[in-house]
């Protein structure tokens, strides 16, 4: 047990360091945790010659996975149904374009520029077409944009992109089985019944120190995650939909949301983001940087080609349009999941996996840093002195 507690202290200590860095540099905590995880793994490995972080330990993987699930649920719960109805055309168009353009463009880059096989190239297209709901939500929450119509629209677009990614991975590489049918049927039943059951359960038994609400939500999320994993799908996917269907109940209980955020950002997501950073092998990238750079550039360029024109078509101000495009260029959860799927099913080899994961994780950092440094829509931030309505200022 001594080793376990020491390892836990190391991880929480790294999370604390990442938080202090984010405060000093005024960057999103999620990004600093990714960078700290990458640097810590490199320095510890160089100093001690061992994988001291033990990112593959089962309990660390569980906490990281739980962090991704609960964070994605919170992102879904932030979705205001009224705001989505007002902006569903833009969210859908941005989400579809954010998938199709990099899916085709990155697959072509892998095939023609890196000389990968056809299957490996399509797998690369899927892995690099994703948008990280976890990163985007964490950044939105950091600046308070999650409470705006603009933030809710971007989060909805992120979900549509990732939904198409999961469908593409399943249709192209995973057979449709009876397990898939059971998963869809079970999830659909849960989505229909949850609003009714949650409202009545919370009304009768909620508001007590025993935190029944939190336990109920975690049981639902973990249960659907287990069903998704059993059906060879992704546990994160139903979490977002659960958040969406409960947005009218859980999403409006601000005290409950605050308690869930404390649990998520205080304990769970540091394991998720730090572990994501620790997966990057800087020595491997240094040995062959062109492949990594080509994949990262292909993702960012194709995301821009696909998303930016759509935002302009819907008359978004230039600053918001660029911010949306850059946030839609981020990737993490589904990108690494798709890459690992390709490696475990011999679609890509270890080197290709390293390049893909590195490009995916870099896409969580680089576009977000650029977006927050140069294109942050400050007029939408809470407390802005002169708020600007979307679509009115084309030169902002």
Per-residue pLDDT of the chain (396 residues; tens, 9 = 90+): 888 898 899 999 999 999 999 888 877 787 788 889 888 888 876 666 556 778 788 899 899 989 889 988 887 787 767 777 788 888 899 999 999 999 999 999 999 999 999 999 999 999 999 998 878 888 888 888 888 888 888 988 988 898 888 788 877 876 678 888 999 999 999 999 999 999 999 989 988 888 999 999 999 999 999 998 898 777 887 887 898 889 888 877 888 988 998 999 899 989 988 887 787 777 777 776 888 899 999 999 999 999 999 999 988 888 999 999 999 999 887 787 788 778 867 898 878 888 898 898 889 889 998 998 899 888 888 766 544 444 444 333
Three-class SS state of 209: coil
> Rounded to the nearest 10 degrees, how much is the dihedral formed by the CA atoms of 341, 268, 78, 340?
-10
CA distance linking residue 118 with residue 173, whole number of Å: 12
Cβ-Cβ contacts under 8 Å for 378 (sequence gap 6 or more): 384
φ, ψ for residue 365, nearest 5 deg:
-100, -55
Phi-psi domain of 378 (left: phi exceeds 0; alpha: psi -120 through 50; beta: other): alpha
CA distance linking residue 316 with residue 110, whole number of Å: 32
Query: CB–CB of 376/323 below 8 Å?
Result: yes
Cβ atoms < 10 Å from Cβ of 204? 9
Please tell me the predicted confidence (pLDDT) of residue 395. 37
Q: Encoding tokens for residue 164?
A: 């198409």
Query: CB–CB of 148/380 below 8 Å?
Result: yes
Contacts 24+ apart (CB under 8 A), 115-123: 116/348, 116/352, 119/173, 119/347, 120/342, 120/347, 120/348, 120/352, 122/172, 123/173, 123/338, 123/339, 123/341, 123/342, 123/347, 123/348
Parse the chain into domains and list their residue ranges: 8-49+57-376
Mark 33-67 as b/e (b = at least 16 C-beta within 10 Å): bbbbbbbbbbebbeeeeeeebbbeeeebeebbbbb
Please tell me the predicted confidence (pLDDT) of residue 396. 35
Please tell me the predicted confidence (pLDDT) of residue 48. 62
Please tell me the predicted confidence (pLDDT) of residue 47. 65
In the Cβ-directed half-sphere of 150, how many Cα atoms lie within 13 Å?
29
Q: What is the value of pTM for the model shown?
A: 0.76
Q: How far, CA to CA in Å, does 28 sit from each of 32, 368, 380? A: 7, 9, 17
For residue 311, give the nearest of 302, 301, 320 by alpha carbon.
Answer: 320
185 alpha carbon, distance to own chain's centre: 25
For residue 97, give the nearest of 249, 309, 282 by alpha carbon.
Answer: 309
Q: How far, CA to CA in Å, does 152 sit from each of 24, 132, 190? A: 28, 14, 23
The helix (run of H) or strand (run of E) holding residue 315 is: none
Q: Encoding tokens for residue 233?
A: 């799908």
Query: CB–CB of 228/234 below 8 Å?
Result: yes
The helix (run of H) or strand (run of E) holding residue 396 is: none
CA distance linking residue 231 with residue 184, whole number of Å: 9
CA distance linking residue 320 with residue 327, whole number of Å: 10
> Rounded to the nearest 10 degrees, how much is the dihedral formed by the CA atoms of 267, 269, 272, 278?
-80
Please tell me the predicted confidence (pLDDT) of residue 50. 54
CA distance linking residue 233 with residue 256, whole number of Å: 29
Please tell me the predicted confidence (pLDDT) of residue 128. 95
> Domain 8-49+57-376 carries which CATH code?
1.20.1530.20
Please tell me the predicted confidence (pLDDT) of residue 60. 92
For residue 116, give the nearest of 127, 130, 101 by alpha carbon.
Answer: 127
């Amino acid at each position: 047990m001594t080793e376990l507690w020491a390892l836990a202290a190391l991880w929480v200590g790294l999370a604390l360091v990442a938080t202090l860095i984010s405060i000093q540099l005024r960057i999103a905590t999620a990004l600093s945790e990714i960078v700290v995880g990458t640097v810590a793994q490199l320095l510890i490995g160089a100093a001690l010659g061992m994988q001291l972080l033990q990112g593959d330990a089962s309990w660390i993987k569980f906490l990281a996975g739980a962090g991704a699930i609960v964070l994605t649920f919170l992102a879904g719960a932030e979705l205001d149904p009224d705001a989505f109805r007002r902006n569903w055309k833009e969210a859908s168009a941005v989400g579809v374009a954010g998938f199709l353009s990099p899916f085709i463009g990155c697959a072509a880059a892998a095939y023609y520029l890196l000389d990968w096989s056809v299957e490996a190239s399509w797998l690369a297209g899927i892995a690099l077409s994703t948008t990280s709901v976890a990163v985007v939500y964490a950044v939105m929450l950091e600046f308070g944009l999650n409470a705006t119509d603009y933030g809710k629209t971007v989060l909805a677009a992120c979900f549509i992109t990732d939904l198409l990614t999961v469908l593409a991975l399943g249709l192209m590489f995973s057979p449709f089985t009876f397990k898939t049918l059971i998963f869809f049927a079970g999830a659909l039943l849960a989505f229909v019944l949850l609003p009714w059951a949650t409202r009545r359960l919370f009304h009768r038994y909620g508001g007590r120190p025993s935190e029944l609400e939190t336990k109920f939500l975690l049981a639902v999320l973990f249960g659907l995650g287990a069903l998704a994993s059993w059906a060879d799908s992704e546990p994160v996917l139903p979490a977002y939909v659960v958040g969406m269907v409960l947005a009218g109940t859980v999403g409006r209980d601000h005290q409950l949301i605050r308690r869930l955020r404390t649990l998520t950002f205080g304990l769970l997501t540091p394991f998720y983001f730090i572990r994501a950073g620790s997966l990057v092998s800087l020595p491997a990238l240094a040995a062959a940087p062109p492949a990594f750079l080509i994949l990262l550039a292909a993702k960012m360029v194709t995301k821009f080609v696909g998303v930016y024109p759509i935002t302009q078509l819907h008359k978004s101000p230039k600053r918001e349009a660029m911010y949306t495009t850059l946030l839609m260029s981020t990737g993490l959860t589904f990108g690494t999941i798709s890459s690992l799927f390709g490696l475990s099913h011999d679609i890509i080899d270890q080197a290709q996996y390293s390049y893909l994961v590195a490009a995916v994780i870099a896409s969580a950092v680089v576009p977000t840093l650029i977006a927050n440094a140069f294109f942050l829509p400050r007029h939408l931030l809470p407390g802005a002195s002169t708020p600007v309505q979307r679509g009115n200022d084309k030169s902002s």
